[in-house]
Amino acid sequence: MASIDTSVNRPNVPADGTTVTAEIDVEPGEQEADVRRHIALCIDTSGSMEGDNIKRARDGAAWVFGLLADEDYVSIVAFDTEATVILPATRWSDLDRQTAMDHVEELTAGGGTDMYNGLKAAKETLSSSATGPDTVKRLLLLSDGKDNERTPDEFEGLAEAIDDAGIRIQSAGIGTDYNEDTIRTLGTVGRGTWTHLEAPGDIEDFFGEAVEQAGSVVAPDAHLDLDVAPGVEVSEVYRALPQAQEVSPEWEANATRIKLPDLIERESQRVVLKIHAPPREPGSEEVLADVQLSARGDTASDQIAVEYTDEQEKLAEHNESVDIDHKQTVIRTELGKGNVEAAETKVEQMTVIHGEDADAVEEAERQTEIVKEGGRAEQSQATQIVDDDGIQ
């Protein structure tokens, strides 16, 4: 069963109030039964994909076939000047491998890049199969180009609609000509992941890892509900693990819902946030927010709480690791966007507080320099935070 644990950087705060950093750690629990997957491959077949890219895309699709179980579903959508459903939603046991490979051979390069309608068609294939609410649905997008007409902002609404349908997007850009804002928006808004593929040979790994990970899902549509006390304000929310992503939750009165990526067995998740604790009388212990995790019908609860005091010794107590987690997450999010100057400013602020010899500061400086000297691959890698056990 999934569980949560909360902590704050300052367990004791002054009577006139202050801003604290909080984090919510989510442990997914163990998988109790095999999951049914529906994998939709959404593949750019525009003219720029000609050559190794389209060949490797066909190889990647074939690799996916080798990972599917009988009860899984698969669909394939190609997009160039227009979107085409190459293989409609089909249960794997209803296909023979040669027929599936015949569909793959239809992936040929030529024409423009209508990514938007390609994604819409892939969503429709994922929504068309009556596989039940517990089916793990993945839309795997591969593109090396820019949409003919749509801007990254226009993809945000589409990504939200896909996510609302219970579908997680894993988006990958290959080469140097794709619009990284679009690829990042799709992966972030869609509660999935986004990545850069350096070479055609990476395509098979991208498809294969996504399909295998989908088989380890514990809960496909988990979320945190926050109910904050009167006068309490939440100013920043980030998903820190498994990929650093900024979140903009919608509030209704004092409550909001933070949607989580699918819970994966043995993959911890973490949310970090800034909370303003309002003035209160010394000696009072106050719950700033009630937190409830919902995952596959199960729930787990905890509270974000502080104690108000005027004792200097208590006010000096500090959970430095929570502060560091927040700062690292902000820095990695900025690096993922290519905002090196913003990341450098955050590293400088981190250095003043924690000292230049602190391991976390040195790591933040190293990662910032790597992105500064590198390119798109380094940007996407910077968002992947690894904890002490080596788990992303």
Q: Where are the domains of the chain?
A: 3-31+219-318, 37-215, 322-382
Domain 37-215 class?
alpha beta
Number of Cβ within a 10 Å radius of residue 240: 26
pLDDT of residue 388: 41
Domain 3-31+219-318 class?
mainly beta
Number of Cβ within a 10 Å radius of residue 199: 12
pLDDT of residue 309: 97
Tell me the C-alpha distance between 279 and 299, whole Å: 31
Tell me the C-alpha distance between 139 and 103, whole Å: 18
pTM: 0.90
pLDDT tens for the chain, residues 1 to 392: 899 999 999 999 999 999 999 999 999 999 888 899 999 999 999 999 999 999 999 999 999 999 999 999 999 999 999 999 999 999 999 999 899 999 999 999 999 999 999 999 999 999 987 677 789 999 999 999 899 889 888 999 999 999 999 999 999 999 888 999 999 999 998 889 999 999 999 999 999 999 999 999 999 889 999 999 999 999 999 999 999 999 999 999 999 999 999 999 999 999 999 999 999 999 999 999 999 999 988 899 999 999 999 999 999 999 999 999 999 999 999 999 999 999 999 999 999 988 888 899 999 999 999 999 988 889 989 998 544 443 34
pLDDT of residue 387: 44
The residues with which 167 forms a beta bridge, in sequence order, are: 137
Tell me the C-alpha distance between 146 and 48, whole Å: 10
Instruction: Name residue 31's amino acid.
Output: Q
Tell me the C-alpha distance between 226 and 251, whole Å: 10
